Amino acid sequence: MNSNHHLDLLRAAHFAARKHCDQRRKGEEASPYINHPIAVAETLARVGQIDDLPVLQAALLHDTVEDTDTTESELIEHFGEEVASLVLEVTDNKSLEKYERKQHQVDHAPFLTPRAKALKMADKINNISDIMRAPPAGWDVQRRAEYLDWAERVVSGCRDANAHLARAFDEALAEARSNIVDLNNYSNSRP
């Protein structure tokens, strides 16, 4: 990556940090939200072996339209059509009910571009890790298991985009399911 690419990547990180500055993750530790898009970009680069600048920028920005006041035109102005298009491709339609949004992700995943599929897998890998390490308040074992099943259905439509990410997802999913079994066994053995 040349120095201009480094600057463009840092510009995206700075933009995302400003947009997410007052947000926290849903986990009990309420970590700064920006940790999530940074982790997704890092997963794409390290695990997925992706050095495609627009994909890495989109990873940093992937929740800005969905979870902040960022608009499509703002992304186009700052990062161009290509990055904005990738972000929009993985953005949930918040006008839909939660169940419909979740089902839309499953149904739509096979039709994403390969770059968006890779981004979607990296996002799910990191969400699984976060849910198992620091689950959202009130998420019991069953709710976590349901998330894992749903994430697996979404990723099943994305697997062809990047073998490294597909394998990492499978590993994260297997570890999370093992942890859920352990948690179930522990809670069932308590008096």
Active-site residue list? 66-67
Tokens of 45: 């680069």
User: Minimal CA–CA distance to 98: which of 33, 143, 128?
Assistant: 143
Who contacts 110 (Cβ-Cβ below 8 Å, separation ≥6)?
A: 157, 158
Query: Residues 81-105, buried b or exposed e (16+ Cβ, 10 A)?
Result: eebbbbbbbbbbeeeeeeeeebeeb
| Long-range contacts, stretch 76-81, CB < 8 angstroms, 24+ apart | 78/11, 78/15, 79/8, 79/11, 79/12, 79/15, 80/54
Alpha-carbon distance values, 30 to 14, 34, 36, 125, 136 (Å) = 20, 11, 12, 19, 9
Bridge partners of residue 24, in order along the sequence: 32
User: What angle, rounded to 10 degrees, do the helices at 53-61 and 35-46 form?
Assistant: 150
